[in-house]
Amino acid sequence: MATLEIRDLHVTVEADNATKEILKGVDLTVKQGETHAIMGPNGSGKSTLAYSLAGHPKYTITGGTVTLDGEDVLEMSVDERARAGLFLAMQYPVEIPGVSVSNFLRTSATAVRGEAPKLRTWVKEVKETMAGLQMDPSFAERNVNEGFSGGEKKRHEILQLELLKPKIAVLDETDSGLDVDALKTVSEGVNRVRATGEVGTLLITHYTRILKYIKPDFVHVFAGGRIAASGGAELADQLENEGYEAYTKGGASA
């Protein structure tokens, strides 16, 4: 079983000509087959964690380690991370003008698998997965994220997740900006992947509502640049009722 281990992770960003420490010692272990939710107030550093795992150049790792099955993730290029089985769905997916969804998916699958998927089975797989996410087939010919609505962007992220079959998936606010129907559809996609038992999921979210559709095995409260508390699904209910105040008072949330 693949294991992602984050140990005492410290990360800074440059903002307004100053270096700001955003992550202040994050500890987290996610195993294949497990579903973890990270919940926290806006600006607490949740996306910074996702970007740091993705290898975004704006985020400087100043301490700690991230390993996948003992391999140093922080030493890997973005491509190597994907090949190692790490999948990251960002809060604000980027547009790729001139590249169709169809080409993008096939190129990604080829990169991750190390060989091009067989065309006939691949086309069928893409079609079926899109249908499962209630995406119109014509969508495949559009340019990646160009003019996509919020819901279309998130469906496209989950389409990638289902097709690429990573070992560990980090989903940053996949629920944000979705209406209830889209939220259900997207959650069903995540749950299909989960049902394989072969993906460990880190669901980063600000709101508890997605957790009604995707029941986490573990819930972590993110505050003050680290994980301030961990528990089971009941912790999400507590946050729903009481908010984050207990974890943020007496200090800035970031």
Q: Taking CB under 6 A as the criterion, which residues in 225-254 touch ligand ADP?
A: 254
Interaction of residue 58 with Mg ion, rule CB under 5 A: no
**Alpha helices, H only, 67-219:** 78-84, 101-113, 119-132, 150-164, 180-195
Interface pick for Mg ion out of 14, 19, 42, 72 (rule CB under 5 A): 42
Place of tokens 């579903």: 35
What's the min distance (Å) between Cβ of 254 and ligand ADP? 5
Expressed in percent and rounded to 5, the helix, strand and coil fractions of the chain are 40, 30, 30
CB < 8 Å & 24+ apart, contacts of 53-57: 53/6, 53/81, 53/86, 53/88, 53/170, 54/78, 54/81, 54/88, 54/90, 54/170, 55/81
Residue 135, helix vs strand vs coil: coil
What's the min distance (Å) between Cβ of 172 and ligand ADP? 7
Residue 55, helix vs strand vs coil: coil
What's the min distance (Å) between Cβ of 28 and ligand ADP? 15
Site string for ligand ADP, 40-69 (x = CB under 6 A): x-xxxxxxx---------x-----------
Site string for Mg ion, 156-175 (x = CB under 5 A): --------------------
Q: Are strands 35-39 and 86-89 parallel, antiparallel or unpaired?
A: unpaired
Interaction of residue 48 with Mg ion, rule CB under 5 A: no
Binding range to ligand ADP, per CB under 6 A, among 38-46, 121-129, 179-187, 191-199: 38-46
| Binding site partner of 13, from ligand ADP, Mg ion, none, Cβ cut-off 5-8 A by kind | ligand ADP
> How many Å apart are CA 217 and CA 230, to the nearest integer?
11
| Binding site partner of 105, from ligand ADP, Mg ion, none, Cβ cut-off 5-8 A by kind | none
Which positions touch ligand ADP (CB under 6 A)?
13, 15, 22, 40, 42-48, 58, 254
Which positions touch Mg ion (CB under 5 A)?
42, 46-47, 91
